[in-house]
Amino acid sequence: MEYRKLGKTGIRVSKISYGASSLGGVFHPINKKEGIHTVHAAIDHGINLIDCSPYYGDLVAEKTLGLALKDIPRDKYFLSTKVGRYWKGPAKIWDYGAKKIVNSVEQSLHNMHVDYVDFIHCHDIEFADKEQIIYESLPALHQLKESGKVRYVGLTGLPLDNFIYIIDRVQPGIVEVILSFCHYSLNDDSLMDLINYMKINKVGIINASPLSMGLLTRRGVPDWHPAGSDIVNTCKKAADYCEKQGEKIEKLAIQFATQHPDIPTTLVGTANPETIVQNIKWAEEPMNKILLNEVLNILKPIHRKTWKNS
Query: pLDDT, tens digit, for every residue of 30-64?
Result: 788 999 999 999 999 999 999 999 999 889 999 99
**DSSP helix/strand/coil, 106:** helix
Q: DSSP state, 136? A: I
Convert the pLDDT of each residue in 143-160 to its tens digit: 999 999 999 999 999 999
Residue 27 pLDDT class (50, 70, 90 cuts): low
Does 56 participate in catalysis according to the annotation?
A: yes
Nearest to 190 by CA among 222, 216, 218, 212: 212
Inter-residue contact 166 to 125 (CB < 8 Å)? yes
Q: What does the mean pLDDT of the chain come to?
A: 95
Residue spans of the domains in the chain: they are: 3-223+251-286
Q: CA 115, CA 131: separation in Å to the nearest integer?
A: 30
Question: Own/partner pairs for 243-248, CB < 8 Å, 24+ apart?
Answer: 243/218, 245/291, 247/288, 247/291, 248/218
Residue 257 has pLDDT above 70, yes or no: yes
The predicted pLDDT at position 32 comes to 87
DSSP-assigned letter for residue 53: -
Q: What is the pLDDT of residue 83?
A: 98
Q: In terms of pTM, does the model score above 0.85?
A: yes
Alpha-carbon span 222 to 215, nearest angstrom: 9
List C-alpha distances in Å: 139 to 40, 123, 181, 198, 298: 34, 15, 24, 21, 45
Per CATH, the homologous superfamily of domain 3-223+251-286 is NADP-dependent oxidoreductase domain (3.20.20.100)
Q: What is the mean pLDDT of residues 92-99?
A: 96
Catalytic residue among 3, 18, 55, 56: 56
**How far is it, in rounded angstroms, from Cα 255 to Cα 280?**
10
Beta strands in 124-222 (DSSP E): 150-157, 177-181, 204-208
- Phi first, then psi, for residue 182 (nearest 5°) are 65, 20
Name residues whose C-beta falls within 8 Å of residue 189's C-beta, 6 or more positions apart in sequence. 183, 304
Q: Would you say 85 and 127 are in contact if contact means Cβ atoms under 8 Å apart?
A: yes
Q: Has residue 95 got a pLDDT over 80? A: yes
User: How far is it, in rounded angstroms, from Cα 108 to Cα 275?
Assistant: 26
**Strand (E) or helix (H) holding 86:** strand 85-88
Task: Write 166-171 long-range contacts (CB < 8 A, 24+).
Answer: 166/125, 166/130, 166/133, 166/134, 166/138, 167/197, 167/201, 167/203, 169/134, 170/134, 170/138
Nearest C-alpha neighbor of 83 from the set 25, 131, 19, 141: 141
Buried b (16+ CB within 10 A) or exposed e, 95-111: bbebebbbebbebbbeb
Pick the range with the lowest mean pLDDT from 6-15, 71-80, 221-230, 280-289: 221-230
At 240, which amino acid appears? D
For the residues 213-231, what does the mean pLDDT come to?
91
d(CA 248, CA 117): 35
Residue 28 has pLDDT above 70, yes or no: no
The reported pLDDT for the residue numbered 248 is 97
Q: Which pLDDT score, from 0 to 100, does residue 26 have?
A: 66
- How many residues can be counted in the chain? 310
